[in-house]
């Protein structure tokens, strides 16, 4: 744990359940979903959020902005890969304004870790090696992944017990899901792993209507496509102003806008994950 912080998480849980939020398409609601679920799970559990995106939006959303000297997940990855001396994973765990949520933050330089990971000996399991040292302290570890089919994403998928794919209701969103499907098959073939626990979230869902993006039939087509291609559990989160308000205020939906439509949908997802 970072020496600025105090260890607060309970010790003694067998293994944390690791949940990764993943989609190679940008802006589909990965970070929004990760933080929303973290907020609801934290009502009863100890949660660690791992920001694996160089954009560091999850870190920002949890109220953590690192100074140039403070270490991030990037330093811990370099250390684990033998490229850099001396920053253990425990040193990059930070407290957040929420007592039951800890954070491993990111920074822009994390994009450089793609190459380091690619050249590492056990390139697919670097994050797994790091998180194994922390799992005992948490009930849930939530990983926010970047919109990029690279080593960071692959590490985040491999370590996950459950992968959640937020999808936006657009034709490009559906196309990107088809691409993810091919990627998933390739990954399963190359690594021998099976992505058995997989859920979809249709984010920013607007009810059909005059001002909506899609007609009722188009929405039906999208839902039918999702259910056919991904028969796994499908959640729907409505488009909701509260999401934008919470992000502007760097608050969590569970704490500040818990009665909003999006919060209710995310609380049901958190319930399902328990």
Ligand X SMILES: Nc1ncnc2c1ncn2[C@@H]1O[C@H](COP(=O)(O)OP(=O)(O)OP(=O)(O)O)[C@@H](O)[C@H]1O
Phi, psi (degrees; rounded to nearest 5) at 18: -100, 125
Interaction between residue 29 and ligand X (CB under 6 A): yes
Interaction between residue 240 and ligand X (CB under 6 A): yes
Q: Which two tokens stand for residue 74?
A: 């990037």
Interaction between residue 173 and ligand X (CB under 6 A): no
**How many DSSP H helices and E strands does the chain contain?**
11, 8
Q: Which two tokens stand for residue 59?
A: 């870190």
Interaction between residue 209 and ligand X (CB under 6 A): no
Of 15 and 109, which has the nearer Cβ to ligand X?
109
Of 31 and 46, which has the nearer Cβ to ligand X?
31
121-126 long-range contacts (CB < 8 A, ≥24 apart) are 123/151, 123/155, 124/154, 124/155, 124/158, 124/191, 125/155, 125/158, 125/159, 126/77, 126/80, 126/81, 126/155
The one segment of 21-29, 104-112, 170-178, 181-189 that binds ligand X by CB under 6 A = 21-29
Interaction between residue 9 and ligand X (CB under 6 A): no
Of 219 and 240, which has the nearer Cβ to Mg ion?
240
Contact indicator for 128, 20 with CB cutoff of 8 Å: no
Interaction between residue 247 and ligand X (CB under 6 A): yes
Which position among 16, 24, 25, 30 is part of the footprint of Mg ion (CB under 5 A)? 30
Which position among 57, 102, 137, 184 is part of the footprint of ligand X (CB under 6 A)? 57
Place of tokens 């953590």: 64
Sign of CA dihedral 23, 174, 34, 158: negative
Interaction between residue 176 and ligand X (CB under 6 A): no
Contact indicator for 104, 50 with CB cutoff of 8 Å: yes
Of 55 and 96, which has the nearer Cβ to ligand X?
55
Q: Which stretches of the chain bind ligand X, using CB under 6 A?
A: 26-32, 53, 55, 57, 147, 203-204, 237, 239-240, 243-244, 247, 262
Q: Which stretches of the chain bind Mg ion, using CB under 5 A?
A: 30-31, 57
């Amino acid at each position: 744990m970072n020496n600025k912080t105090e260890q607060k998480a309970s010790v003694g849980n067998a293994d944390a359940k690791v949940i990764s939020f993943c989609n190679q398409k940008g802006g589909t609601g990965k970070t929004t979903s990760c933080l929303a679920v973290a907020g609801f799970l934290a009502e009863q559990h100890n949660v660690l959020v791992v920001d694996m995106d160089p954009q560091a939006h999850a870190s920002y959303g949890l109220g953590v902005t690192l100074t140039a000297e403070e270490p991030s997940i990037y330093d811990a990855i370099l250390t684990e890969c033998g490229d850099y001396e001396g920053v253990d994973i425990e040193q990059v765990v930070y407290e957040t304004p929420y007592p039951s949520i800890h954070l491993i933050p990111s920074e822009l330089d994390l994009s450089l870790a793609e190459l380091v990971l690619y050249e590492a000996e056990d390139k697919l399991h670097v994050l797994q090696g790091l998180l194994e040292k922390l799992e005992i302290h948490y009930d849930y570890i939530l990983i926010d992944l970047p919109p990029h089919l690279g080593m960071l994403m692959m590490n985040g998928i491999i370590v996950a017990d459950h992968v959640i794919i937020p999808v936006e209701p657009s034709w490009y969103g559906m196309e990107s899901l088809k691409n993810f499907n091919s990627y998933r098959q390739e990954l399963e073939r190359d690594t021998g792993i099976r992505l058995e626990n997989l859920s979809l979230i249709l984010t920013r869902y607007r009810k059909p209507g005059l001002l909506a993006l899609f007609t009722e039939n188009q929405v039906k087509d999208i839902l039918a496509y999702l259910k056919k291609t991904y028969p796994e559990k499908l959640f729907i989160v409505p488009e909701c102003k509260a999401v934008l308000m919470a992000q502007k205020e760097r608050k969590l939906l569970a704490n500040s806008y818990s009665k909003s439509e999006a919060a209710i949908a995310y609380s049901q997802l958190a319930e399902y994950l328990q």
